[in-house]
Structure 1
């Protein structure tokens, strides 16, 4: 159960089903697969042990699904409410196939807060597990209540123990990052260290799964799910390493130099003529990219920006006869970023409003255009980019 900070406008992680203690709750479609698997597999197991009818067993399985989802939700609420206690906004909780995650609107401001928020979820799972263990010991054997309590105890204890393993994207990885952050005073280095620890855990999990299957401890049916856990760990750790490297380069973002210059052309200008005017006078010493074409109305006010992809798709023979307006997007449809915005805020804007171009402004004036490919090349210079 991890905490993420990567919300994107218009791209919700699932279906919103309500609010819990003021926190929006979403269900990912993959949760249906989990519910079906547990209902069938656990329902058959419970039916055999308790000598129930098939329908009775499946009803017990469905009850366990609800109890398990409640446990996962409580785990995530531990993260969410602790984060909110320290002034970190929570955008929502999502329940999915492998558990759940909490979306926060910003990173923890200090190693101490990061540590407390990270450990809050496993602490809740540990408390629930202890309570379920006590209930299991108190309830009569071979009853529905006893079986549910035992499974809840096992699942919550396993969740608590697994999540405190020291590697991202697990909660224990965030705790490790907080400790390394406190020691080095470098959050990005701490994230990378915890990310590599997560990759080691992913490899270890894959090897353990293979060994347990070879020893006939794991069935063939359980193999895909446990293998998926290992793959998820590897991917999440890789994303953490990538973001730590991007974070180190954010101070290099200077929109005054990164944004491409703009060249204004009146509405109705033929595309070929507009491109001719925007071409550098000295191609060998001019800017690495042509100026962006800004379309102005009859009063000279900027109203639209030519889409370079759409313009490039127009055959050269048609460009003298096609007005720039036909391949332009109105400025109202494009996100605007003030020219003095720092790198972290620029990245947040790009994540919240995915697109290819962003208008760079100084007051009411458009002073440049930021291309996402240029930003990506700056932040990840060794990564292949499509320009």
Structure 2
């Protein structure tokens, strides 16, 4: 299954970079190695029993089939990537994983039309590959290794193309549906939520269908497990789309001027317990605890998680310097950034806290937990609280 052209992904890379194709970085997820091994073994057994190949030749055919599958997935994703580039949208990379692949874009499509074109470019490539492979299969002799591989590649590409144009996120057809709803109601976030719920509906219908086929002995146990894994991925992807749409809707609420915590500075060498006592006494316990040098200049920030990890009985003996980070080594956010710019910067430079500046002046500290609470209040309400 292809997850289509995705905009928001974790900043850490989920796989190893294996090279560049047409200038796009290509990453291989570890799960793809599992799939490659599984398909090689299964197809090798098929080649032995059905095609008459023996031993190493059968599994070499299985490996060749895996390479063709990977090539098909890569070409599908290149359809997304090249179309995005055509419309001025940057591509961070293409990742190939267990159930297909995804293309990471550096921003959303600017218009519904571009969104639809980028989304449908991948299935269009798969349809073309399926057509070319079908023509090749008809030209090759039947019951040969080459003929069988080409026929199955043709069938695979056509099935992938048809499945991916189903109208529900995270499938490509769901992104096209989102684009159409966006054009109609003029609200991309609401359109995303609607298309994601359609995706969950498709996942449920698919699950019920495959269970029925299994009970009728039309589908093998392996096929049942594999398709249910696809269904689970669909459900999770739709849920992530809903979550991101709700977050994006709250971007205008992000104001660093009010969200950043003011600094409460203590001299270098102050015991952690004493620093916390002073903050409590000044009714500034929620402020960002900072470390100042002998001239009063702030030089470091106390790491909230690090200080919380110090047992209470040890805090009188642990200096604030021991649980602090140098100011110059922390990521910086400018006070004038918009909500979307703040989120993009946080995705690019993950961390627990960020220095907020106005010109050359440090005006406060943004805790990532505060940003998460603003963007996802439902999740924050379910989290256990603690100092």
TM exceeds 0.5?
yes
Query: SS where residue 101 of structure 2 aligns?
Result: strand
Verify the 8 A CA contact 1:361 1:367 in the aligned structure 2.
yes
Partner residue, 1:22: 23
Q: RMSD of the alignment, in Å? A: 1.7
Deviation string 1:339-387 (CA, Å, 9 cap, x unpaired) is 2211111111222222222211111211111112211221122222354
Deviation at 1:328, TM superposition (A): 1.1
Take 2:213 and 2:336, find their aligned partners in 1: how far apart are those partners? 56
User: 1:19-41 CA distances to partner (integer Å, 9 max, x unpaired)?
Assistant: 10111111111111111221121
Counterpart check, 1:308 vs 2:304: yes
2:277 corresponds to: 276
Long gaps (5+) in structure 1? none
User: What corresponds to 2:363 in structure 1?
Assistant: 367
* 1:78 matches 2:74: no
Q: Deviations over 1:168-207 (max 9, x none)?
A: 1111111111111111110100110111011101111111
Does 1:324 pair with 2:320?
yes
**Cα distance in structure 1, aligned partners of 2:309 and 2:74:** 49
Aligned to 2:353: 357
Counterpart in the other structure of 1:129: 130
State how far apart, in whole Å, the 2-side matches of 1:62 and 1:274 are.
63
Normalization by structure 1: what TM-score?
0.94
In structure 2, the CA distance between the partners of 1:45 and 1:379, relative to structure 1 (3 Å rule), is same
Q: Which residue of 2 aligns with 1:299?
A: 295
Cα deviation, residue 321, structure 1: 4.4
Residue 279 and residue 48 in structure 1: after superposition, are their counterparts in 2 closer, same or farther (change >3 A)?
same
Task: Give the 3 Å change call, closer, same or farther, for CA 317–231 of structure 1 in structure 2.
Answer: closer
Aligned partner of 1:257 in structure 2 is 258
Distance 1:205 1:76 in 2: 24
**Which residue in 1 is equivalent to 2:117?**
116
C-alpha contact 1:98 1:229 (8 A) present in aligned 2? yes
Structure 1 residue 263: Cα displacement: 1.4
More divergent stretch after superposition (127-136 vs 341-350): 341-350
Q: After alignment, is 54-63 or 127-136 more displaced? A: 54-63
SS at match of 1:103: strand
1:315/1:20 Cα in 2 relative to 1: closer, same or farther (>3 Å)?
closer
Alpha-carbon spacing, 1:314–1:178, altered in 2? closer, same or farther (3 Å):
same
Whole-angstrom distance in 2 between the partners of 1:192 and 1:27: 30
Work out the CA distance in 1 between the residues paired with 2:193 and 2:349. 26
Q: Please state how far the C-alpha of 1:320 moved relative to its aligned partner.
A: 4.2
User: Which stretch has the larger CA shift, 325-334 or 14-23?
Assistant: 325-334
Task: Tell me whether 310-319 or 249-258 shows the greater mean CA deviation.
Answer: 310-319
**Equivalent residue number for residue 334 of structure 1:** 330
The answer on whether the counterparts of 1:44 and 1:54 sit within 8 Å (CA) in structure 2 is no
Secondary structure at 1:52's aligned position in 2? Answer: coil
- Secondary structure (helix, strand or coil) at the match of 1:358 reads strand
Counterparts of 2:32 and 2:195 in 1: how far apart (Å)? 28
The Cα of 1:326 is off from its aligned counterpart by 1.6
Q: Distance in 1 between matches of 2:235 and 2:311?
A: 45
Q: Which residue of 1 aligns with 2:208?
A: 207
**CA distance change for structure 1 residues 310 and 48 in 2, over 3 Å: closer, same or farther?**
closer
TM-score, normalised relative to structure 2: 0.94
Kindly indicate whether the alpha-carbon contact (under 8 Å) linking 1:335 and 1:358 is maintained by their aligned counterparts in 2.
yes
**Structure 2 unaligned spans of 5+:** none
2:349 aligned with 1:347, yes or no?
no
Aligned equivalent of 1:39: 40
**Per-residue Cα deviation, 1:257-279 (whole angstroms, up to 9, x for no partner):** 11111112222233333323323
* Separation in 1, partners of 2:108, 2:306: 38
- Which residue in the other structure is 1:176 paired with? 177
How many angstroms does 1:318 deviate by?
Answer: 4.6
1:147 and 1:318 map into 2 onto residues whose CA distance is 69
